[in-house]
């Protein structure tokens, strides 16, 4: 088939026309033949079997029956009327029922002629009926493409209103196959096809739309999912290889005095194995002539800041400056304070630059930066201003990079003629599957080990009926001198309800923990900022033993003495939120606890979330489950939802196919980076076509 046929505007396909073309374009993004053929079904109805009427079960399943209509009648009902047909085969009789479109049906139905009907059955008053069945004359049914498993395509309300039903779309796809003779250009090399025993592109396309049986459908799905993920990985990996070859980086060839002095004499604790491994990975990147582009992941408290600092010392030892950019002033301030304390007495010049730094102080920072007196600059977006000129920036570290746009990160690149090495840090555990697809063009380091001495938090699930036992446990902990958080959900849509829950909860806690023996703080969104600060302050100073709050305490409260986190209505929180809240305790040396309180009424998904929380403290494991429950779009937040604009593959469910695709993409690019070999010509042609179609790759970081 001439590949250009697929570029044909959809309006020219027989059965479409201008009105349908416009609706298909706005509702499903179908503008060309290619768009239609790549509209893959969501699911399939198995039409491999024909039932006799006496074989029907009372299961309200969708079934296919062959028979004749022997009688038609109209029946009056409370509202309007219904059309009822008596449908028979050689084993029995059932009814077909229509509540809409009766005139058209009455005029078009033929009596005593064999039909194939398909639909959901109902059992009522001792017999079966089928409302609004799909109907086709047996003679027509035998002529058509043998659709034994009926595809169900994505649809919208507007399509239905305009009469573009699933059946219509299926017929249009059938028409397209007739016009193109079902021949499609092969997109994978002979080596991959034979290695993985894949069916051809043409066979896969036919069997994804009109599968002959379950086995061929499975083979078609595997082939097309592999192809999609293979080209995604090819794009990411070749991007990484090109960057390493073409974008020269500074060579930090020595591990010098500052690094060794800090490591031997100023490091306040022994590094974990994971931290040592990650520093080694960074050091080896910095010692090549290529630019480093590495993502550093680690849960809260895993020690990313020390790794960042030691990387900056490597830069200074080699005669370069370093900077660290954080998304908020609070975070930048925390980094500055922590790093300044660690570097005390080493002779490294460090400054903080944020929006609230005075103009006179800025001027001094700008001068010291340009003449090279300043070694490390920590700050917010303020670092990106044109006025901020470095003497020789060798390493740029970006914290929580998903809060910065691509254009903002690019500005850091251009602070030098040669772009600095880049280290991106995140405390949001990104599941490996997602990282492989979103950040496949970065090298990834993971700190998957907590510093010694941090006891893991014991997490339990308790029902509301166990509340008295939970209160007894709280009294024991308070006797030991510990403090307790009790958190209530706050969800915008039900704010009034949540506020009532919070106040009811607060009153019952006050009843069970009365003054003067107990002091209780309360913090919620309706309070003035001053009152919030005051209550938080009392809890931080240890003047109150219990803090009853909505989720406002997620951010920025560090109370090492708080050892119990009680989460009310835990089933209403998402997994990542539960994990974040749990991270508020366990900051001191004492054993800490997280108690998840719920009612007995729980959905299957809520049970999975609670089970996950009680069985692991590992942020990555939790993120994997969260990804399975919510999907990649939701997980990355709204501004990046639909982040993987994939047509058929699902990076969560098809994780194994993703790994296989990545393996083959790596093998091929390592052997033949330019895809010049004869065997790879097909891949090169397909790849360059995909690269022209910019919107396929626009989601890659």
Query: What is the three-state SS of 577-594?
Result: HHHHHHCCCCCCCCCCEE
Q: Please, which residues bridge with residue 79 across strands?
A: none
Query: What is the three-state SS of 176-226?
Result: HHHHHCCCCCCCCCHHHHHHCCCCCHHHHHHHHHCCCCHHHHHHHHHHHHH
Tokens of 187: 């997109």
Please list the residue range(s) of the chain that carry CATH number 2.40.50.140.
Answer: 51-143
C-alpha–C-alpha distance, residues 180 and 203, integer Å: 13
Instruction: Tell me which CATH code domain 257-286+302-426 carries.
Output: 3.40.50.300
Burial 508-545 (b: 16+ CB within 10 A, else e): ebeeebeeeebebbbbbeeeeeeebeebbeebbeeebb
Determine contact, residues 144/86, Cβ cutoff 8 Å: no
Determine contact, residues 579/613, Cβ cutoff 8 Å: yes
Please list the residue range(s) of the chain that carry CATH number 3.40.50.300.
Answer: 257-286+302-426, 458-616
| Fold of the CATH domain 51-143 | OB fold (Dihydrolipoamide Acetyltransferase, E2P) (2.40.50)
Walk along the chain (701 residues) in steps of 10 and give the mean pLDDT of each run: 80 93 92 94 81 81 89 87 93 92 88 92 85 90 72 87 89 93 92 96 94 86 94 85 77 89 89 93 88 83 88 94 86 85 90 90 93 93 88 89 58 74 81 66 80 82 93 95 90 63 87 92 82 84 91 58 92 85 81 94 90 87 79 44 65 81 92 92 90 48 36
For residue 516, whether the previous peptide bond is cis, meaning omega lies within 30 degrees of 0, is yes
Instruction: Tell me which CATH code domain 458-616 carries.
Output: 3.40.50.300
SS3 153: coil
Q: Please, which residues bridge with residue 86 across strands?
A: 71, 95
Q: H-helix or E-strand containing 447?
A: strand 443-447
C-alpha–C-alpha distance, residues 552 and 525, integer Å: 7
Determine contact, residues 201/184, Cβ cutoff 8 Å: yes
Residue 60: per-residue pLDDT: 64
Residue 408: per-residue pLDDT: 63
């Amino acid at each position: 088939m001439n590949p250009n046929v697929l570029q044909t505007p959809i309006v020219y396909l027989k059965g479409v026309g201008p009105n349908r073309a416009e609706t298909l374009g706005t509702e499903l993004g179908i503008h060309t033949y290619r768009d239609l053929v790549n509209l893959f079904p969501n699911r399939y109805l198995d039409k491999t079997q024909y039932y006799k009427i006496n074989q029907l079960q009372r299961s309200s399943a969708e079934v296919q029956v062959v028979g004749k209509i022997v009688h038609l009648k109209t029946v009056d009902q409370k509202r309007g009327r219904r059309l009822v047909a008596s449908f028979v085969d050689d084993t029995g009789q059932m009814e077909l029922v229509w509540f809409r479109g009766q005139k058209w049906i009455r005029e078009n139905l033929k009596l005593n002629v064999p039909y194939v009907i398909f639909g959901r059955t109902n059992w009522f008053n001792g017999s079966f009926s089928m409302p609004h069945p799909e109907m086709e004359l047996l003679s027509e049914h035998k002529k058509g493409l043998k659709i034994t498993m009926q595809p169900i395509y994505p649809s919208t309300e507007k399509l239905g209103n305009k009469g573009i039903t699933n059946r219509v779309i299926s017929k249009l796809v059938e028409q397209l196959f007739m016009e193109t003779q079902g021949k499609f250009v092969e997109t994978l090399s002979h080596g991959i096809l034979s290695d993985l025993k894949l069916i051809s592109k043409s066979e896969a396309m036919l069997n994804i739309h009109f599968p002959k049986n379950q086995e061929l459908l499975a083979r078609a799905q595997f082939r097309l999912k592999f192809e999609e993920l293979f080209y995604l990985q090819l794009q990411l990996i070749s991007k990484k290889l090109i960057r390493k070859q073409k974008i020269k980086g500074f060579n930090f060839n020595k591990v010098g005095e500052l690094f060794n002095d800090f490591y031997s004499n100023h490091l306040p604790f022994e590094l974990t194995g994971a931290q040592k491994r990650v520093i080694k990975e960074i050091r080896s990147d910095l010692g090549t002539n290529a630019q480093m582009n590495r993502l550093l992941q680690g849960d809260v408290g895993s020690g990313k800041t020390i790794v960042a600092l030691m990387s900056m010392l490597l830069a200074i030892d080699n005669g370069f400056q370093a900077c660290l950019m954080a998304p908020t002033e609070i975070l930048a301030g925390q980094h500055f304070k922590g790093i300044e304390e660690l570097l005390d007495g080493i002779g490294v010049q460090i400054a903080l630059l944020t929006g609230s730094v005075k103009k006179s102080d800025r001027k001094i920072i700008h001068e010291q930066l340009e003449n090279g007196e300043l070694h490390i600059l920590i700050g917010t977006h303020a670092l990106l201003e044109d006025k901020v000129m470095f003497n020789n920036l060798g390493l740029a570290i970006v914290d929580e990079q998903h809060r910065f746009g691509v254009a903002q990160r690019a500005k850091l690149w251009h602070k030098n003629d040669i772009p600095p090495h880049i280290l991106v840090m995140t405390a949001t555990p990104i599941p490996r599957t997602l990282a492989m697809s979103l950040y496949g063009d970065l090298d990834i380091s993971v700190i998957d080990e907590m510093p010694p001495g941090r006891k893991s938090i014991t997490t339990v699930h308790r029902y509301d009926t166990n509340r008295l036992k939970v209160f007894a446990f709280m009294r024991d902990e308070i006797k030991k001198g510990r403090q307790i958080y009790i958190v209530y959900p706050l969800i915008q849509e039900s704010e009034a309800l949540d506020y009532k829950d919070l106040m009811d909860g607060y009153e019952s806690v006050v009843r069970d923990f009365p003054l003067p023996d107990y002091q209780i703080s309360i913090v919620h969104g309706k309070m003035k900022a001053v009152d919030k600060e005051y209550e938080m302050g009392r809890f931080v100073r240890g003047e109150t033993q219990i803090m009853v709050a909505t989720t406002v305490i997620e951010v920025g409260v560090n109370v090492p003495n708080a050892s119990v986190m009680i989460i009310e209505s835990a089933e209403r929180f998402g997994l990542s939120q539960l994990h974040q809240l749990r991270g508020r305790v366990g900051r001191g040396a004492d054993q800490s606890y997280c108690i998840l309180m719920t009612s007995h009424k729980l959905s299957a998904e809520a049970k999975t979330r609670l089970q996950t929380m009680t069985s692991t403290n590992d942020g990555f494991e939790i993120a994997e489950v969260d990804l399975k429950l919510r999907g990649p779009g939701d997980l990355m937040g709204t501004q990046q939802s639909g982040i993987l604009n994939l047509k058929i593959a699902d990076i969560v469910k098809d994780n194994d196919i993703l790994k296989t695709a990545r393996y083959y993409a790596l093998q091929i690019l390592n052997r033949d980076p330019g895809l010049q070999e004869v065997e790879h010509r097909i891949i090169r042609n397909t790849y360059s076509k995909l690269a022209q179609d910019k919107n396929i790759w626009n989601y890659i970081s």
